[in-house]
Amino acid sequence: MTDFDHLLGDEERIFLDTLARFSAEVLAPQAAATDESGAFVHAQLAALAETGMMGANLPERWGGAEISAHALFEAVATVAGGCGSTVSALTAHFLATDSLLIGGDDALRARLLPAAAEGRLLGAFGLTEPNAGSDPADMRTRATREGDGWRIKGRKCFISNGGVADFIVVYCVTDPAAGHRGISAFVVEKGTPGLTPGRVEQTMGLRGGHVWELDLDVLVPEANRLGAEGTGFRTAMQVLDNGRVEVAAMAVGIARAALAAARDWTKSRIIGGAPLASRQGIQWMLADMATELSAAELLGHEAARQRQAHQRFTTAASKAKLFATEAAGRIADAALQIHGGYGYTRDFPLERHARDLRIMRIYEGSSEIQRNIIAGRLLA
């Protein structure tokens, strides 16, 4: 139960209860070993597919669960509370399927989305490049017409799922003179000649949710283009609005786990004959953590409300992502502090939570980019 159950339907509550049990009984017990080994979360995603979560962002028409934006926020948070690596791979998959849902035609959707919703296909979102991170309009990857298809040449980096995905939605320049209006999107499928994954990046956290550099010199058919030429940038920005709400949910989920661990520790840890929870200084730390978490949840659900109402929710998504990711970092750090030296060891999950959360302030638009977006809308 959360403070947001009143926003959910009966079937959504049942779905979330099932997901909570799965997260606690399947994901959480494996999370430390996954982090230690650095193995990609293939097994976790396969098991997660059985719950219906791989298609939670999609409508029933395309094989999805068709849950509300509020339920999706809580579902992502629930998975995150169990395993950061798993939720990272899951939400990268959502970015790919959202790209198809927003920008693709029905033929492309019908070919890929039902299988993706069932977990038979894994997607990746190919936007970031070595010289085009915060500003996608600077991308260098080019697509030029060749015969009946398109030749795509370039390099992408930090692509979650990139080396194992069954399909990658690749954003590239089709008209260099048109700025962001010259960006288009294409599906590049696994096994396409000229698609060459580099090494897995050795990351600080989310060590089972791998990111790759991708070299591309591929020929794809016309049918693999998402929508009309020049619509890729608009599609990517809409996808990132969705993704930023999901990053906020990821941060909330891990922050909930960190706060719960800290609360339980203060009740069981006896110092000087009394539990830590009896000390006012500790109580104030917990109170601040709980207050920040509630604020992050409220901002996330406000963005979800606007998304559900089909309003333009760019600013709300940026506010939710900015606040939740920064607050979650503070919450995890305070939870580690409360655990003392034990929190700094790998015998407890706090140091993993702190590492997993650190990237949240960077990817899908850094905190600085979110501040630019918020200020730009405020001053417009």
pLDDT of residue 1: 54
Residues 164 and 188 in one domain: yes
pLDDT of residue 207: 97
Residues 236 and 366 in one domain: yes
pLDDT in tens, 34-54: 999 999 999 999 999 999 999
Among 116, 143, 173, the domain-final residue is 116
Residue 225 sits in which domain range? 122-230
Q: How many domains does the chain have?
A: 3
Among 116, 137, 166, the domain-final residue is 116
Give the DSSP letter string of 81-141: HH-HHHHHHHHHHHHHHHHHHHH--HHHHHHHHHHHHHTSS-EEEE--BTTBSS-GGG---
pLDDT of residue 274: 96
Residues 146 and 112 in one domain: no
CA distance linking residue 173 with residue 352, whole number of Å: 38
Residues 177 and 253 in one domain: no
Residues 221 and 261 in one domain: no
Residues 372 and 238 in one domain: yes
pTM here is 0.96
Which residues of the chain carry a pLDDT beneath 50?
none
Task: Select from 194, 349, 358 the least CA-distant residue to 261.
Answer: 349
The catalytically annotated residue of 129, 229, 364, 368 is: 364
Among 54, 82, 116, the domain-final residue is 116
Residues 51 and 127 in one domain: no
Count the Cβ atoms, other than its own, within 10 Å of residue 242. Answer: 24
Residues 98 and 187 in one domain: no
CA distance linking residue 181 with residue 55, whole number of Å: 30
Residues 155 and 207 in one domain: yes
pLDDT of residue 137: 73
Residues 315 and 201 in one domain: no
CB 184 within 8 A of CB 231: yes
The CATH number covering residue 19 comes to 1.10.540.10
pLDDT of residue 2: 74
Task: Select from 249, 236, 295, 328 the least CA-distant residue to 70.
Answer: 249
Say if strands 123-126 and 211-221 run parallel, antiparallel, or are unpaired: unpaired
pLDDT of residue 59: 97
pLDDT of residue 142: 97
Q: Is 351 an annotated catalytic residue? A: no
pLDDT of residue 37: 97
pLDDT of residue 169: 98
